[in-house]
Structure 1
């Protein structure tokens, strides 16, 4: 009986070996080696995808420039480390070869050029393939990578401008970009900060000229911060602004604003000790004694902490710096752009200095008003790191208490002037809004712009849930897996809680009913880089993203680079962009 059992077992094992195990499939050359090339403003990327159990002989891999002249460039590009296999050096994993723009500029001055990639490989099943080569033709113009205007993203087009235009035109263009960016929410919080600085100065010595110079100090320091942060981000991948958006920094800076605000309400006076003031007066004169260094520090920190923005012009300058290494022109463009952003601040500072009220009750009310504004900036900063319902309660407390403080509930007197009645009406409206925020907070609302969202139409329920349609990815591996499994075109949103424009996308663009209908045709992914962790940095560096917001579109697992969005777009602009995606 045992012999029969052993015989049957042996027959079963032989059957499994002969018929039950699927024999490995021998791949065709097209399946074994998938070689593609893409090009943009940064250079040429050659991607080599190897099939299962396929490897390449390392010494058979060559890369040549064959037109307009023959140059062997394989030694000039970085190649992956080879592995020792079957007594020879091989490449056993898929890899990429990147040909930087600077190399192409040295070898190709202008016009089209052709790269030839050659290779030979084998299968571990015991068969070797014939040597093969692929050629790719692209075009240079004026020493820079050129594509048609329709195939360049907005930030790449701006980077292209650096290389094709003269320096004066580049700087003038970036000053214009700065003027446009001055209308964005990133600059708005700096208005009460600068205004409070001007108001806190002695009114006797204040005039339009001094207001202008104090504002100029603030704006120059702000511009210097943007420039340094931008150059560091482009050259070393160090996003200084993002690193300043952690809870400790934001909490401390908000606390400073609260202390400054309380001093403007008259609780105490902030000034340097008398022995320091005397020393400064003797050495540097009255200007510095009035706090010029303090204003410069406030302007520098405001750029890094209060208003971290990434828009297409900024991204274009950073792309140019990172690829060309020309930090001088790129830094100058960033500085000029920041000056353009500061023009409204200069106007406000000059006006505040010109029309500074005389000492008295009116001046005290103006000072208190800017104290309230500073408290608002502190809450706005804290809203990046505290729960939304807590932020709602703080806004309600601030608006209700400040409205009552300025006399919203006081009765009119017999000699009350007309403009005072208008002012009291505005204060009463602010009080009503503050009460609405309080009711919204008690009902569980989280958006200060929609305090009654829990009581209104059902559509608002969908609006508040707009963020839930995004699947979050944490790293490049999760992204690759999501791209592989996607059945529809993919939209990847780089988001951060501290990014004002990112929040605007959530509240005003993605919540729009028309946009939501279009987004249903996409697979939506979100990369939350709020914490600026190592994984966040790697993910951003993979796509040369210097900070949120950035929105990328993919088809068949590959990014459509010309459709990349950087900076805020309203619903209408975003819908127009989705048309280009084919949605």
Structure 2
């Protein structure tokens, strides 16, 4: 059977079904279902005695439903006093009803310790994925009648937005323990959106050099080791300077320039042009490379340094906590070693790509052009990931939609050009059609002002319009840029008996603008902060007085947020450092109000 006949046969038999299935999938994600479970069936609560003096609450959550972590509360009756529940971290969800929240799927668990006696009134709230949100549910539990179980209390989780626990961990453990922990922590950071874009960079270096496994590992090491060393040097320099070196590079101009560079590299991978040095310089480097057995080692090292400074995370809590430790202890060697371990952990997946990637690839052939195109799309995705931090959310959604359409078109072209089995053609087309439909849906959602690539057609459901928040000219914050003015605002709030939420921001801080655009305008955040005096310290000019204030308060840089009680004392354990979401802010706000 000829290729054209195979394509026509597939089109007649499979494409209509694929199209119907894809459209049905998007339809079910956009429109709510007609029948929903009763709240008692959607969220089944079981209570029991745990190990020791504690009460264990377990919810069995039906498929297609989720429970809000922040909505799980308890009171001791009849006094109606708040009972503190221990709950594990949930999944972050951009909820259409409440914004960014932590939720549980499948099951949820809460522990009350000590259990005490009497009646425990438990309240919880959940929603259906299809769009229905239940009112809060309440149940009274007689603690004295609970039967004992073998359940145990979960260990307290490390708060990713808190630098205090990180700093205490460094103080109370040996260097070897700290290095191991930060190596694992770096490995976890490697799969976050701000570090993951480094993988296509390493892949491009290895594939572009057509390296053997040994050579691929060497190139990857040449990328990872300077990257890790840059983190160590950057941390020490930032601590000595009293400000964040990395944050100064996280500005819209730098991100826009870097995004343009990656778009340029992507089009080179597509074969539109060749990027190369002048012939004379290329010959010199080639001769030097043959002598050193590593013509691209220098370029790999440079890319590692640039990636650490520009593509890496901006002011994450682990980095901030380590900087505080270095500044307080003066142990620059220990601090540099810990930051090096953090960077090395972030580079472990890159070493795996360099060492194992070439071994898994078949012999040279047409597949290499396909792989180059794949890396080109990855580089385009990297550019969008960086640019979406400075672009309006609908524009970012339109860029993602355009990328999905481009990928779908490439897969369709490859299917037409393929000289292989019908199964391979069916595989390409079965990916291309849903990808094309998704891309068109994102374009339609962007035109309607949507921002969520997972639910681009949510605006088709009444009341589900998701207009992104934008910071208002007067968003409730008193903006100051001088330490004296900030101190006066704090004193005024203390005299009025009001707690204070102090936000450190700057015009050049991209993460700050993201928080101001996507977190502070949310209704639940506004409600939670309504009882606070809102003060914003603008660090745009980075004057000596401002830098001295940062050192005095032990704030590494923006974004950072501090809670002060009505007595004027900071609730240090509830400090937020680095980019945070609404769920983290609401959790720390609640704890700040409960703190003595």
TM-score w.r.t. length of structure 1: 0.63
Please state if 1:166 is matched with 2:174.
yes
Indicate the residue corresponding to 2:140 in structure 1.
none
Please state if 1:292 is matched with 2:302.
no
Q: How many Å apart are 1:569 and its aligned residue?
A: 5.8
* 2:358 maps to which of 353, 356, 370: 353
Q: How many Å apart are 1:270 and its aligned residue?
A: 2.5
For 2:445 and 2:278, locate their aligned partners in 1 and report how far apart those are by CA, in whole Å: 46
Residues 419 and 517 of structure 1: CA distance in aligned 2, closer, same or farther (over 3 Å) = farther
Indicate the residue corresponding to 2:316 in structure 1.
311
Residues 346 and 548 of structure 1: CA distance in aligned 2, closer, same or farther (over 3 Å) = farther
Residues 286 and 575 of structure 1: CA distance in aligned 2, closer, same or farther (over 3 Å) = farther
Secondary structure at the aligned position of 1:426 is classed as helix
Is the 1:280–1:289 Cα contact (8 Å) retained in structure 2? no
Indicate the residue corresponding to 2:502 in structure 1.
492
Q: Larger deviation: 384-393 or 330-339?
A: 384-393
Is the 2:213–2:356 Cα contact (8 Å) retained in structure 1? yes
For 2:354 and 2:478, locate their aligned partners in 1 and report how far apart those are by CA, in whole Å: 43
Counterpart mapping for 1:13-412 below 5 A: 154-202=162-210, 206-285=211-290, 290-407=295-412
Q: How many Å apart are 1:213 and its aligned residue?
A: 1.8
Q: How many Å apart are 1:161 and its aligned residue?
A: 4.0
Is the 2:563–2:589 Cα contact (8 Å) retained in structure 1? no
Indicate the residue corresponding to 2:564 in structure 1.
554
Q: How many Å apart are 1:293 and its aligned residue?
A: 0.7
Q: Larger deviation: 309-318 or 382-391?
A: 382-391
Indicate the residue corresponding to 1:436 in structure 2.
441
Unpaired segments ≥5 residues, structure 1:
1-149
Is the 2:450–2:467 Cα contact (8 Å) retained in structure 1? no
Please state if 1:471 is matched with 2:472.
no
In the alignment of these two chains, the number of paired residues is 428
Q: How many Å apart are 1:495 and its aligned residue?
A: 5.2
Q: How many Å apart are 1:573 and its aligned residue?
A: 5.6
Residues 449 and 323 of structure 1: CA distance in aligned 2, closer, same or farther (over 3 Å) = same
Is the 2:236–2:323 Cα contact (8 Å) retained in structure 1? yes
Indicate the residue corresponding to 1:70 in structure 2.
none
Q: How many Å apart are 1:265 and its aligned residue?
A: 0.7
Q: Deviations over 1:360-398 (max 9, x none)?
A: 222211111111111222233233344444434333333
* 1:544 maps to which of 549, 554, 557: 554
For 2:378 and 2:435, locate their aligned partners in 1 and report how far apart those are by CA, in whole Å: 14
Q: Deviations over 1:39-63 (max 9, x none)?
A: xxxxxxxxxxxxxxxxxxxxxxxxx
For 2:536 and 2:453, locate their aligned partners in 1 and report how far apart those are by CA, in whole Å: 24
Q: How many Å apart are 1:537 and its aligned residue?
A: 5.0
For 1:414 and 1:284, locate their aligned partners in 2 and report how far apart those are by CA, in whole Å: 39
Residues 404 and 490 of structure 1: CA distance in aligned 2, closer, same or farther (over 3 Å) = same
Q: Deviations over 1:529-575 (max 9, x none)?
A: 6x565487566445322234433111123321122122456666655
For 1:470 and 1:350, locate their aligned partners in 2 and report how far apart those are by CA, in whole Å: 53
Residues 157 and 411 of structure 1: CA distance in aligned 2, closer, same or farther (over 3 Å) = closer
For 2:547 and 2:463, locate their aligned partners in 1 and report how far apart those are by CA, in whole Å: 39
Q: Larger deviation: 162-171 or 334-343?
A: 162-171
Q: Deviations over 1:223-276 (max 9, x none)?
A: 122112111111112422122223443333222212211111112222344443
Q: Larger deviation: 314-323 or 481-490?
A: 481-490
Q: Larger deviation: 425-434 or 277-286?
A: 277-286
Secondary structure at the aligned position of 1:270 is classed as coil
Is the 2:251–2:509 Cα contact (8 Å) retained in structure 1? no
For 1:413 and 1:218, locate their aligned partners in 2 and report how far apart those are by CA, in whole Å: 35
CA RMSD of aligned residues (A): 3.7
| Greater relative contact order, per chain length (Cα 8 Å cut-off, separation 6+) | 2
Secondary structure at the aligned position of 2:412 is classed as coil
Residues 428 and 472 of structure 1: CA distance in aligned 2, closer, same or farther (over 3 Å) = farther
Whose radius of gyration is greater, 1 or 2?
1
Is the 1:309–1:499 Cα contact (8 Å) retained in structure 2? no
Is the 1:200–1:264 Cα contact (8 Å) retained in structure 2? no
Is the 1:222–1:299 Cα contact (8 Å) retained in structure 2? yes
Is the 2:186–2:344 Cα contact (8 Å) retained in structure 1? yes
Is the 1:210–1:353 Cα contact (8 Å) retained in structure 2? no
Q: Deviations over 1:435-467 (max 9, x none)?
A: 122222322335555544655454655873698
Q: Deviations over 1:303-352 (max 9, x none)?
A: 11112332332222211221232211111111111111111222222232
Secondary structure at the aligned position of 1:407 is classed as helix
For 2:354 and 2:257, locate their aligned partners in 1 and report how far apart those are by CA, in whole Å: 26
TM-score w.r.t. length of structure 2: 0.62
